[in-house]
A and B are shown apart, each in its own frame.
Chain A
Amino acid sequence: MPTTGARPDATIAATGVRRSFGDVVAVDGLGLDVPAGSVTVLLGPNGAGKTTVVRLVTGALAPDAGEIRVFGIEPAGPGGAEVRRRCGVVPARPALYDRLSGHDNLRYAGELFDVPDDVLPQRIAEAAARFDIAHALDQRVGGYSTGMRARLALARAVLHEPDLLLLDEPTAGLDPESARAVLGLIDELAEQGKAVVMCTHLLLEAEGLADQVIVLDHGRTLVSGTPDELTKRFWAATRVVLEADDPTVLDGAASLPFVRGYERNGAATVELADEHAIPELVDALVAAGARLRRVEPQTPTLEQLYFAIRRSETIVREPAYRRAPHSAEVP
């Protein structure tokens, strides 16, 4: 039984996980609670510890301190093989065998991950077709382009139908179509009840996917929660984008008492204390003679949110483990 205090059916449950390499602390006090059927995005700059987290989850590395359980099993313990058999990993570098053909790379993975012989050819064909690599399966991987290599690595990671998919910068080197296919795959796997953990520093690709966002920096969890929770926490003001036939009329908004900020660069962006002030803003502008064409409350992008978090002076280090990441407390 998990002893982390996480929900018993959590795919990943970790608390206070620490891992260092010599004097360098790669992960410090990490807490994770990843339920099945969810997408968790680990955000952070290079060197934040995202890759180390993936390695700790599969048991490729053992933690120095803390506890981590995947499917209720310690991945670095004696049952680790079962954990890894149920995980699919797309490393930051594709980790392929250049001298082998694409087909042989996939077959190797299928055999190592216990895909039955009778279904393996079918699985290889499906995975290759899904990632548009079927035409190159007989070629040596050494001759593949960066994008083809990334697609083959993705095909290899899902070949054995893992219950947990770990993606480390999955769209790096991919063309836009392939990147979209990856994001589609993540959505689909989550719908099938599988858990997905994606590491990225490209905020755009995490947009709209994440059920849970964990921002890492220097191996520490800066903050975690659902995008909505983080928005409420770090994006306190309501922003409204306005457009009018005569934009100069909108400048009058700057002097309204409930407006906290105003900026016009083409469209005008008005910052309000809360969303209840929007009708008052509209009334005031109409009264001033504005013919409004657009009134759009703005939801922050993950990128805006990320930088708001990084800038925030209110950041306090997250507790190592929070029982319910989907109901984060707002400090």
Chain B
Amino acid sequence: MSAVTLDRQRRTRSRSWTIARTDLRQLRQARDFWLPLAIISSLFFVVIPGLLLLLITHVHDVKLAKQLGDIVGSLPKSLRTHIHGQKGPAEASYALAVNLFAPLAIVVPLTVSSAVGANTIIGERERGSGEFLAHSPATEREIYLGKLLAALIPGYLTAFAGFAIYSVIVNLTVGPRVGGWFFPTSNWWVLMLWVLPPFVALALCLILAISARVSSAAAAQQASALVTLPLIVVAYSVASGSLFEAKTLGFAIGALAWLLALTALWRASRALSRERLLGMGG
């Protein structure tokens, strides 16, 4: 690879990271924007699972415990072997911890990233700062990558921070009933490290393409909701399925998501143009 090519790649990385870092700095300053997202994330990763798991692990009603056991009984065979020997509330809380909250691991970061991403390009136009970027030496691709990073990072951070806290809560509440710390399971690692990243990236590619084209932040939010809703449904199914079934399915789903995400990344980068940063072009 020639020195010129290497230098170009270094500059692209550098400018994209500069754009992403500046966007993140602005996001950090916008408490009115990130606070609701942080509350939602805390609710879904910490408060609701924590309360539910606590409640379920402390059920003393025999009838209710049997009903909970029945729920677990309806789960796939592979899962039942996992929790063999556990009874009633313990079985239910194990199943809840390992399976029922799994989709949130995708849905919450997807929500955070799409909220940031929907605003990122149209926000430049609305504030007028798009003019500065349009006159800057950064290429459209560098700007696009910077914006993508700036929206991906909050989503991934939310996912991994939430995942870490959630793991602690699950182990503290359910662990003692099932013989010690057991979470994350191997399927969860696949979900978090292999399936989640491309799903969020895929959604963001579509949202950034929308954000570059629409005429207002409100329109971007609405349009991105239309894009993310189906993805959330798919993500929900995928997250559940990849945990209920064998790890190989999780790997296969992740591989497909990576392929789609990389294709979307390539195609969506063309949606951003200097004209659009200036508020022109459809």
Which residues does A use to contact B, with CB under 8 Å? Answer: 21, 55, 58-61, 81-82, 84-85, 87, 89, 91, 93-100, 104, 108-109, 111-114, 140, 156
Nearest-neighbour CB distance to chain B for A233, whole angstroms, equals: 34
Number of B residues with CB within 8 Å of any CB on chain A: 27
Check A99–B135 contact: CB distance below 8 A. Answer: no
Q: In chain B, what residue has the closest Cβ to A114?
A: B137
Check B128–A93 contact: CB distance below 8 A. Answer: yes
Check A58–B127 contact: CB distance below 8 A. Answer: no
Check B18–A95 contact: CB distance below 8 A. Answer: no
Chain A residues closer than 8 Å to B22, beta-carbon distance: 97, 100, 104, 108
Chain A residues closer than 8 Å to B67, beta-carbon distance: none
Main secondary structure of the interface of B (DSSP, over half): helix
Nearest-neighbour CB distance to chain A for B29, whole angstroms, equals: 4
Partner of A112, one of B15, B29, B127, B280: B15
Check B132–A21 contact: CB distance below 8 A. Answer: no
Chain A residues closer than 8 Å to B274, beta-carbon distance: 59-61
Q: In the complex, A91 Cα to B127 Cα: how many Å?
A: 13
- Check if B275 is an interface residue, CB within 8 A of chain A: yes
Q: In the complex, A96 Cα to B274 Cα: how many Å?
A: 17
Q: In the complex, A97 Cα to B18 Cα: how many Å?
A: 14
- Check if B134 is an interface residue, CB within 8 A of chain A: yes
> When A21-B280, A61-B275 are in contact, do A113 and B128 touch as well, CB less than 8 Å?
no
Chain A residues closer than 8 Å to B11, beta-carbon distance: 114
Q: In chain A, what residue has the closest Cβ to B14?
A: A111
Nearest-neighbour CB distance to chain B for A173, whole angstroms, equals: 14
Q: In the complex, A140 Cα to B278 Cα: how many Å?
A: 24
Check A95–B25 contact: CB distance below 8 A. Answer: no
- Check if B30 is an interface residue, CB within 8 A of chain A: yes
25 CB < 8 A contacts A-B: A21-B280, A55-B135, A55-B278, A58-B134, A60-B274, A60-B278, A61-B275, A84-B135, A84-B136, A89-B131, A89-B135, A91-B128, A93-B128, A95-B128, A96-B132, A97-B22, A97-B129, A98-B127, A100-B26, A108-B22, A109-B132, A113-B136, A114-B11, A140-B29, A156-B132
Check B136–A112 contact: CB distance below 8 A. Answer: yes
Chain B residues closer than 8 Å to A91, beta-carbon distance: 128, 131-132, 135
> When A61-B274, A81-B139, A112-B18 are in contact, do A55 and B30 touch as well, CB less than 8 Å?
no
Nearest-neighbour CB distance to chain A for B4, whole angstroms, equals: 13
Q: In the complex, A104 Cα to B275 Cα: how many Å?
A: 25
Q: In chain A, what residue has the closest Cβ to B33?
A: A99
Q: In the complex, A119 Cα to B22 Cα: how many Å?
A: 20
